[in-house]
Amino acid sequence: MKTLILTTLFIMNSSFAKDLTIDRIFSSPSLAGTVMRSVKFSPTGERVTFLQGKAENKDQFDLWEYHIGSGKKQLLVDSKVLLPNGEELSAEEKARRERQRTASFSGIVEYSWAKDGTQILFPLSGNLFVYYLETAKVIQLTDSKDFDTDARFSPKGKYVSFIRQQNIYVVNLAKNKVKQLTFDGKGVIKNGMAEFVAQEEMDRDTGYWWSADDKKIAYVQVDESPVAITQRYEINAENIEIVNQRYPYTGEPNVKVKLGILNLKKKKTKWIDLGENQDIYLTRVQWLPSGKKLSYQIMSRNQQRLDLNVTNLKGKSKTLITETSDTWLNLHDDLHFLKDKSFIWASERDGFKHLYHYSNQGELLKQLTNGDWIVDGIKGIDEDKGLVYFTASKESATEEHLYVLNLNTAEINKITQKSGWHSIAMDNTAQFYIDDWSTRDQPPHTTLHKVSGKELTVLNDNTINKSHPYYPYLSSHQKTEFGTLTSQDGQKLHYRIIKPKNFDANKKYPVFFYTYGGPHAQVVTNSWGRSIDQYMAQKGFVVFALDNRGSARRGVKFESPIYKQMGTPEIADQLVGVDYLKSLSYVDNAKIGIFGWSYGGFMTLKAVTKTDAFAIGVSGAPVADFKLYDTFYTERYMSTPQLNAQGYKTTAVFDDVGNIKAKLLVMHGMADDNVLFTNSTKLFKAMQDAGVLYDSVIYPGAKHGISGEKPQKHVWKTISEYFIKHLKN
């Protein structure tokens, strides 16, 4: 009976069904419906706060709350009221947001709670604001011509700290007085700030850390002088700016870093001895709960050794753990110090990321998890009950679920049950969690739960009903099918495929083959996907993607084949996908096109220079030569050009451009400070010298992601029309 009803509804809706358009995909309101970003529990546990885009502008965010007791959802701060004319960002903040992948957003893009749960701090257009829950009023905390950034409450709530003009400042909230704490930040010296590679590659976007007692701040001092100045041209629509950027090219010098502990009362900094070798990475810094010791992680330049160290306030350090690898070590944020003078640590030493229990003296007590699956991250710890809550790929590499581990019995139980992807935020007491759940057919739907898994309430009902923005397009929505293929070394390769609308098994269809392929990423997941995939399926394409070796969440053995030869194992795996597509009776073997951006742009270039499997390629912001990319990322996988000259030569595409037989479109932002536009200009010259015809679309003033509604519409109209023109018309 249920099947009959659903079928009847589908037939009824089909006459009203709409196909997606590029304009609609990138317009407001979002087709994903109402999505809660930066979801947090209040410290008192009474509220859930989040950021939400405006109905008329999905990329401008306001601050909202859901009051758990009353079930009331309400707007707390309207960013447009505070800044009716929009905001101006400093160059430093624009770069920071580019690193955080929030460059396309405006309004309130980040916020933090005071520990007592009475105030919420947020930056807006370079100044700091505090929302007081008791009075429902917003107070502007700073008013400066300089841009204040990276702001937070101190742990006890006495201060608000922030970075201004490369120095650390605090506001004494009781006295409403701004005080400068460091004074030598200028020019090449930056205090409390994360350097370029820390922000872009280490997932560390801050450079200072409060102690629990509000009395001390650990901070990084960065000296950029060793890094050579690159003159980068930002070509805008109306002018050209010459930017002197200190870009750390692979094999070249990095910044120098110092780690200090600033005593607020004494106004003095105690510098920590990081060792004689200054050519290292300071990857993580974290206070122990007592506030009397500081942990810091040092990684070797070749990223094959990581030391977890602890120092006391006098600067005496001890190494607790040393991790090593023959290829590289992945960073993580799963270091948790416990009240019983022990800590939990994550390691890939057995081939998969798992949790380990150590004493504070560095003695291994027990391996807590094991198996051919990976722990994504710790979400909460109930120390009194000895329970650790974490997300993992235990059931499936294409899904993420929440689990609980008993420290005493080592028993692991799965909490989330629905198939799909569960993004979890847990309260400070580890008694409740927020589940942001989605599948390929269900956009993010947010619920509140007890840690037992029992659902307490729906925070954001994102069911695709008649009022949902995606509802008019639901009848044209095509199901995603998942499967596995086998790599040359016998490993499973996960893929996803979407058949075209009005699929007829007797017809032949072109293929929209999407790739990213780079490490620390995964594209084959049972989570809400990109609407562009549905658009291409509705335009009559088979849509296909595959996670090759080197991709994330599969363990060391799956990742490491790319070491010193990026682009070779990945393309071999993508060709396994091509062979599979060609085995399907409904695929037109002569009309397979490939598209990718960033690393995917590099993969696209490798695909059309090393194979003849693709009729067309669209390469967005590609790395054409990894000698033009940064130290931390590139050397992790390729070593240095000095030590792996042949590897770099093979990975670069220039020597092979004469092999290109596919129609090729290259797209790039002309102000890209991540994958420099030089990659594409060198590529253009090489293709011209080889007599290879190609197409290009370049974007004045655009960074790596080419953000903004209008530019995104142009980007995707260009991509889709290129596929349609060459593979359908």
Catalytic residues: 598, 672, 704
| 3-class secondary structure, 589 | strand
Residue 163 phi/psi, 5-degree rounding, is -110, 130
In whole angstroms, what is the distance from residue 340 CA to residue 6 CA?
56
Residue 116 phi/psi, 5-degree rounding, is -80, 0
Sign of CA dihedral 219, 221, 227, 232: positive
**Residue from 467, 446, 472, 471 nearest 55 by CA:** 467
Sign of CA dihedral 658, 661, 665, 667: negative
The per-type count for the chain, helices as H runs and strands as E runs, is 13, 44
Q: Based on the number of CB atoms within 10 Å of its own CB, is 441 exposed (0-12), middle (13-18) or buried (19 or more)? A: middle
Q: In 681-698, which positions are buried (b, 16+ CB within 10 angstroms) versus exposed (e)?
A: ebbbebbeeeebebeeee
Distances (CA, A) of 692 to 492, 571, 654, 661: 37, 22, 12, 8
**Other C-beta atoms within 10 Å of 565: how many?**
16
**Residue from 173, 170, 136 nearest 151 by CA:** 170
**Tokens matching residue 157:** 């709530």
First-to-last C-alpha distance (Å) of the chain? 43
- Mention every residue, 6+ apart, whose C-beta is less than 8 A from residue 438: 420, 421, 444, 445, 527, 528
**Other C-beta atoms within 10 Å of 629: how many?**
23
**Residue from 468, 467, 417, 460 nearest 441 by CA:** 468
- Mention every residue, 6+ apart, whose C-beta is less than 8 A from residue 618: 593, 594, 595, 596, 604, 664, 665, 667, 719, 722, 723
Q: What is the DSSP string of 415-475?
A: ---SSSEEEEEE-TTSSEEEEEEE-SSS--EEEEEETTS-EEEEEE-----TTSTTGGGGG
Give the residue carrying structure tokens 């753990």. 321
- Mention every residue, 6+ apart, whose C-beta is less than 8 A from residue 593: 510, 511, 512, 513, 614, 615, 616, 617, 618, 723, 726, 727
29: preceding bond cis by omega (within 30 degrees): yes
Strand arrangement of the beta sheet that strand 149-153 belongs to:
149-153, 159-164, 167-172, 177-180
